[in-house]
Amino acid sequence: MDYALALHRFQFAFTITYHYLFPQLTMGLALLIVVLKTLHLRTDDVRYAQAARFWAKIFGINFAFGVVTGIPMEFQFGTNWSRFSKAAGGVIGQTLALEGMYSFFLESTFLGLFLFGEKQLGRIGHWVTAFLVFLGSWLSGFFIIATDAWMQHPVGYTTLPDGRIQLESLSALLLNPWTFWMYLHNMTGSVVTGAFAMMASGAYYLIAGKHVEQGKLFLRIAVPVATVAAIAMLFPTGDGQGKNLAKYQPITLAAAEGLFDTEAGAPIAVLGQPDANRGKLDNPLLIPRMLSMITYQRWDAEVKGLNHFPKDQWPDQIELLYYSFHIMVGLGTIFIGLTVLTSFYLWRGTLFRSRWLLWVLMLAVPFPFIANTAGWFAAELGRQPWLIYGLMKTSEGYSVRVSAGNTLFTTLGFLGMYGLLSILYLFLMQRELEHGPSSEEAAH
């Protein structure tokens, strides 16, 4: 691969991976904050308002980090992927401009009111601002998924003789069949992250013996939400996404599953290391016929392996794609087990005494971030070698006039910046967590 191209890919992958650590938490928390505010409205129990205030502070910090790391993304389409932007701007310019117009203005206006206006706005007014922040962040997610879905499965366009791609139908773009499952799958993933963060904080307070009442409240709210979301990651959203993959990107499915030979009654690999050169999976641990069943609902259905397709159509990072996919699925399965078990303990009334389980919940907090990141890696590596599936190769889309030297310069700068951001973030989160939910009245 061209060195400059490799650096452009690395820079974009790094900045977007780092960025998405924050929105996945804030989108999930936005929903949970609306839940807390709604419970406060309905029960008049002041503890819900205190919990909402605490999570609003956590949300505020994470939102700020999300904004500052998100601004580069909007620029990098042009700075790093100029040829792609020139070709596809007529289409994805719509969704990106829609995001700016309909979600960024909404979020930025109402976040300030939500964070600083609790006293002035009154209970219902404050609930409305919480809801609008939630709406803004989830709309933002929709426009980004619609953009990515078009790159995964382009619809509603025509190609001009000079290679530029023009929009033919805005409704087709927004109602892309790929968008539906991908959006639900992604947003459910962010709810898993948010709910796991809330569970972990609750578990931490119980273990540490501080803010115990609030800790219990966090767990009572977050455990059921996490359980429902973890199950919904598998079915229906993951299932729907997988079927789209089988239908529109069978090569990606084969690579993600590590399936080299076409088989009737194809197995699922639970473990194993793909050897792309020799075309086989080393040390495989297989569940026979399972892949055929979940993909086509028949035990003996034929699933096409990688060897069925010409090699220049194969994703160029089969190994990383395979591991990303397996990490996502493996962690997702563990989340279901853990949350169902925790729900059972909560229902029996023994969760708050089961210290071992509280420890597990507290230490589980990084894993939804890893699973969501791995899921995005699987989606984006799975699309390779295409930048726009079937239309434009990644190697045709980058900014050819930006040299490797300049890209490496800014990449190193981003690495340094984001290292610094990480230190600041951990410092601030630790402070807020130590301070905890206070019983004071709302700040004015």
- Contact pick of 10, 14, 116, 131 for another protein (by CB under 8 A): 116
DSSP code per residue over 157-204: EEE-TTS-EEES-HHHHHT-HHHHHHHHHHHHHHHHHHHHHHHHHHHH
- H-helix or E-strand spanning residue 274: strand 268-275
CA atoms in the 13 A half-sphere facing the CB of 286:
15
Pairing outcome for strands 165-167 and 268-275: unpaired
User: Per rule CB under 8 A, is residue 17 in the interface with another protein?
Assistant: no
Compose the 165-194 pattern: x for residues touching another protein by CB under 8 A, - for all others: -xxx-x------------------------
Which residue pairs, CB below 8 angstroms and at least 24 apart, start in 419-425? 421/65, 421/68, 421/69, 425/61, 425/65
SS3 122: helix
User: Per rule CB under 8 A, is residue 131 in the interface with another protein?
Assistant: no
- Contact pick of 31, 51, 52, 98 for another protein (by CB under 8 A): 98
- Contact pick of 101, 271, 363, 412 for another protein (by CB under 8 A): 101
* Residue 74 neighbours by CB distance under 10 Å: 12
- Contact pick of 2, 3, 46, 108 for another protein (by CB under 8 A): 108
User: Per rule CB under 8 A, is residue 408 in the interface with another protein?
Assistant: no
Q: Which residues contact 362 (CB under 8 A, 6 or more apart)?
A: 200, 203, 204, 207
| Distance (Å, whole) CA 350 – CA 223 | 13
- Contact pick of 404, 421, 433, 442 for another protein (by CB under 8 A): 421
Q: Which residues contact 386 (CB under 8 A, 6 or more apart)?
A: 392, 393, 394
The minimum distance between CB 87 and another protein, in angstroms, equals 8
Number of residues this chain uses to bind another protein (CB under 8 A): 63
- Contact pick of 234, 293, 336, 428 for another protein (by CB under 8 A): 428
User: Per rule CB under 8 A, is residue 109 in the interface with another protein?
Assistant: yes
- Contact pick of 13, 47, 86, 246 for another protein (by CB under 8 A): 86
- Contact pick of 2, 3, 45, 100 for another protein (by CB under 8 A): 100
* Residue 240 neighbours by CB distance under 10 Å: 16
User: Per rule CB under 8 A, is residue 89 in the interface with another protein?
Assistant: yes
Per the listing, tokens 């045709």 go with 396
Compose the 363-382 pattern: x for residues touching another protein by CB under 8 A, - for all others: --------------------
| β-pair partners for 381 | none
The minimum distance between CB 211 and another protein, in angstroms, equals 19
For residue 274, which phi and psi values (nearest 5 degrees)? -75, 140
- Which one, 163 or 337, has the nearer CB to another protein? 163
User: Per rule CB under 8 A, is residue 113 in the interface with another protein?
Assistant: yes
- Which one, 310 or 419, has the nearer CB to another protein? 419
Structure-token pair, residue 48: 């819900």
- Which one, 273 or 406, has the nearer CB to another protein? 406
Structure-token pair, residue 106: 């909404």
User: Per rule CB under 8 A, is residue 122 in the interface with another protein?
Assistant: no
Rg value, the chain, Cα? 23
- Contact pick of 93, 177, 330, 436 for another protein (by CB under 8 A): 93
Give the burial string for 212-228 (b: 16+ CB within 10 Å, else e). Answer: eebbbbbbebbbbbbbb
- Which one, 67 or 234, has the nearer CB to another protein? 67
| Distance (Å, whole) CA 219 – CA 175 | 37
The minimum distance between CB 17 and another protein, in angstroms, equals 16
Structure-token pair, residue 262: 């076409």
User: Per rule CB under 8 A, is residue 400 in the interface with another protein?
Assistant: yes
Q: With contact defined as beta carbons under 8 Å apart, do 39 and 6 qualify?
A: no
Which residue stretch of 19-27, 69-77, 210-218, 293-301 sits at the interface with another protein (rule: CB under 8 A)?
69-77
Compose the 306-335 pattern: x for residues touching another protein by CB under 8 A, - for all others: ------------------------------
Closest CA to 396 of 91, 164, 93: 164
- Contact pick of 279, 288, 390, 413 for another protein (by CB under 8 A): 413
- Contact pick of 12, 54, 55, 77 for another protein (by CB under 8 A): 77
Contacting residues toward another protein, per CB under 8 A? 60-61, 64, 67-69, 71-72, 74-75, 77-79, 82-83, 85-86, 88-94, 96-102, 104-106, 108-113, 116-117, 120, 164, 166-168, 170, 399-403, 406, 409-410, 413, 417, 421, 424, 427-428, 431
